[in-house]
Amino acid sequence: MLTHPTSERLMTLGLAGMAKALDEQRHAHTSFAALEFEDRLGLLVDREAAERDARRLITRLRAAALRQAACVEDLDLRTPRGIDRAVMAHLIDGGWIDRHENALITGKTGLGKSWIACALGHKACRDGRSVAYHRAHRLFETLAIAKGDGRRARMLKTLARTDVLILDDFGLSVLTATERRDLLEILEDRHGRGSTIVTSQLPVENFHDAIGDPTLADAILDRLVHNAHRLALSGDSMRKRSAVKKPLDRSPQQ
């Protein structure tokens, strides 16, 4: 008799998980009748905790805005592309994020650099960390617009507080003077406070040239490279491999 109003009260208190679990126990009373009161209460609390964790994960993933729906469990280690399994396992473990270290994923186009970065971002979200994904050149464009309407300082503050920042497709063109200063400010704010994942078609040795100004390049790379874990991919494009496996379009049957 008290179950229905109790469920409503739980919903009012924001305990939707407990309310659902209580209704399930009520409708399957024979399965729970033998349990002690504290055991049944423990099941309700566990359900509430699980649902809250799920909601928080959804919120973190939405805020991360990852480019690809990737997860580390689906990582393809069979296709030869130079993935160092020891480095990959270390990155998946996530301890490097707690130490505020960085990760550099390099290699030719089509090798899955962005996919791996997004998978690591997804894993970080599941581990309770905040993540933000940005294509490098678009981030610089957004910062330039934000400077004009007064949002730049707030954006930089948000980037500084993010546990894992993903900068995808770095080095597609030489940075402008403004972009160099923005990148230095971002990395300076995050140095020792957060981890940054950078993907690039360029080898790390060519980052200096892609930044442009030798003095700022030294300062930027000092904050990015020295504590970074490197994953250098090689081999044939996975997109090309996938295209070869697909049958050619056939002409309509007569």
pLDDT, tens digit (0-9, with 9 covering 90-100), for 164-177: 999 999 999 999 99
The fourth-level CATH superfamily of domain 72-240 is P-loop containing nucleotide triphosphate hydrolases (3.40.50.300)
Query: Which pLDDT value is given to residue 165?
Result: 98
Residues near 100 by beta carbon (within 8 Å), at least 6 away in sequence: 190, 191, 192, 193, 194, 195, 227
Q: What angle do CA 134, 228, 61 make, to 5 degrees?
A: 35
Mean per-residue pLDDT for 213-236? 93
One-letter identity of residue 147: K
Q: Indicate the pLDDT class of residue 249, thresholds 50, 70 and 90.
A: low
Reported in sequence order, the residue ranges of the chain that DSSP labels E, i.e. its strands, are 102-106, 131-135, 164-170, 195-200, 228-232
Q: Which of 15-19, 146-150, 209-213 has the lowest mean pLDDT?
A: 15-19
Q: Say which residue the tokens 């995808």 belong to.
A: 168
Q: Is 121 in contact with 247 (CB distance < 8 Å)?
A: no
Q: Is 33 in contact with 26 (CB distance < 8 Å)?
A: no
Q: Indicate the pLDDT class of residue 2, thresholds 50, 70 and 90.
A: very low
- Name the phi and psi angles at 232, rounded to 5: -100, 110
- Could you say which DSSP state residue 172 is in? S
User: What DSSP element (H or E) covers 231?
Assistant: strand 228-232
Cα(51)–Cα(126) distance, rounded to whole angstroms? 14
How is the chain split into domains, by residue range? 3-64, 72-240
Cα(71)–Cα(117) distance, rounded to whole angstroms? 10
Mean per-residue pLDDT for 52-80? 90
Nearest Cα to Cα of residue 197 among 112, 133, 142 = 133
Q: What percent of the chain stands above pLDDT 70? A: 91
- Per-residue pLDDT tens digits for 145-170: 999 899 999 999 999 999 999 999 99
Nearest Cα to Cα of residue 194 among 186, 183, 206, 184 = 186
- Which pTM value belongs to this model? 0.81
Choose the most confident range, by mean pLDDT, from 26-30, 74-78, 172-176.
172-176
- Could you say which DSSP state residue 155 is in? H
Cα(192)–Cα(210) distance, rounded to whole angstroms? 24
